[in-house]
């Protein structure tokens, strides 16, 4: 597969670095730059993007927000490669669901080209993401946005659903409030980490007495999803 017959590639970033444009052009990729959600929606071809390069090294918030948008509600996920600076490697933790590969910037053109080729040719093998997340009696259908506990439907608001989905996809891991805020609400959300607390409390209320402990408070750290193995 050569670059030119691979469909339209999205390149997201505040301004597209000349070396990036040159690398893509030389490799024969058909690509389109965009720097806002509106622009992405506007330029999207009818058969969808063939893949996306998201430069998070310039504008972190906008970059990850774009990745989140591409992933939201899709089953046929767009393959995403993120460009990160060395200082941002830590940001990759717990964002596994938002990218398929990454490349350090400044990048070596040959490396980026190799990674892109790999990214776009392995699409069919790994593109299907799990549609259902199951943990204990909890089930989340990512395609239909529906959640149930012990076969009883849970009626969640959008943000409650997003929070529960994120937690259930990462059982056993402890997340700080700040981390949850930036991962679930995005950086643009105002209101502080207390927002997380009130949403957790609402979720526990809806889970009911028997399952409220699926979301555990880790004192002075944050929250963890999942039950202790010592519970009968």
Partner 1 sequence: MREQQCDYVLRTAAERGVRMVRLWFTDVLGNLKSFAISHNELENALSDGMTFDGSSIDGFSRVQEADVLAIPDPDTFQILPWGDKGAAEARVFCDIHHLDGTSFDGDPRQVLRRHVRAARERGFTFYIAPDIEFFYFNQPEPGEQPVPLDRGGYFDLTTRDVTGDLRKQTIRTLEQLGIPVEYSFHEDSPSQQEIDLRHDDALTIADSVMTFRLIVREVAASHGVYATFMPKPLEGVQGSGMHTHLSLFAGDDNAFFDENDPYNLSPLAKSFMAGLLRHASEITAITNPTVNSYKRLVPGFEAPVHLSWARNNRSGLIRVPIAKRGNPLATRIEYRSPDPSCNPYLAFSVMLAAGMRGIEQGYELPDEAGSNLFELDDDALNKLGIGQLPQSLSEALRAMEESELVREALGEHIFEWFLRNKRREWRDYKTHVSQFEIDRYLGVL
Interface residues toward partner 1, by CB under 8 A: 72-73, 144-146, 153, 155-161, 177, 190-195, 198, 201-206, 208
| Tokens linked to 231 | 């519970």
Choice between 101 and 160, CB closer to partner 1: 160
| Tokens linked to 218 | 């880790």
> Nearest approach, Cβ of 115 to partner 1 (angstroms)?
30
Choice between 106 and 192, CB closer to partner 1: 192
Q: How far apart are CA 86 and CA 109, in angstroms?
A: 17
> Nearest approach, Cβ of 22 to partner 1 (angstroms)?
35
Choice between 118 and 194, CB closer to partner 1: 194
Phi-psi region of 198 (alpha: psi -120 to 50; beta: other; left: phi over 0): alpha
> Nearest approach, Cβ of 155 to partner 1 (angstroms)?
4
> Nearest approach, Cβ of 109 to partner 1 (angstroms)?
36
Q: How far apart are CA 221 and CA 174, in angstroms?
A: 8
Q: How far apart are CA 67 and CA 78, in angstroms?
A: 9
Q: How far apart are CA 136 and CA 112, in angstroms?
A: 41
> Nearest approach, Cβ of 74 to partner 1 (angstroms)?
12
Choice between 158 and 230, CB closer to partner 1: 158
Choice between 22 and 194, CB closer to partner 1: 194
Length of the chain: 232
Please, are residues 181 and 189 in contact by the beta-carbon 8 Å criterion?
A: yes
**DSSP-based helix, strand, coil % in the chain, nearest 5:** 40, 20, 35
Q: How far apart are CA 232 and CA 230, in angstroms?
A: 6
Choice between 135 and 161, CB closer to partner 1: 161
> Nearest approach, Cβ of 48 to partner 1 (angstroms)?
17
């Amino acid at each position: 597969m050569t670059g030119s017959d691979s469909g339209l590639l999205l390149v997201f970033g505040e301004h597209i670095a000349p070396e990036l444009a040159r690398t893509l052009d030389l490799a024969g990729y058909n690509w389109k730059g965009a720097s806002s959600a509106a622009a992405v929606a506007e330029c999207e071809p009818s058969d969808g993007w063939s893949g996306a390069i998201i430069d998070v090294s310039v504008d972190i918030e906008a970059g990850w927000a774009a990745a989140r948008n591409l992933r939201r509600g899709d089953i046929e996920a767009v393959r995403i490669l993120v460009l990160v600076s060395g200082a941002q490697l830590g940001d990759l933790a717990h964002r596994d669901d938002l990218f398929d590969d990454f490349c350090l910037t400044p990048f070596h053109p040959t490396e980026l080209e190799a990674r892109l080729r790999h990214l776009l040719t392995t699409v069919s093998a790994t593109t299907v993401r799990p549609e259902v997340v199951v943990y204990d009696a909890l089930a989340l259908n990512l395609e239909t946005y529906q959640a149930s506990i012990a076969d009883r439907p849970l009626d969640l608001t959008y943000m409650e659903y997003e929070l529960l989905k994120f937690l259930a996809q990462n059982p056993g891991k402890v997340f700080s409030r700040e981390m949850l805020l930036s991962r679930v609400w995005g950086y643009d959300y105002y209101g502080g980490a207390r927002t997380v607390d009130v949403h957790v409390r609402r979720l526990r209320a809806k889970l009911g007495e028997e399952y409220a402990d699926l979301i555990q408070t880790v004192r002075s750290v944050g929250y963890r999803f999942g039950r202790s193995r010592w519970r009968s």
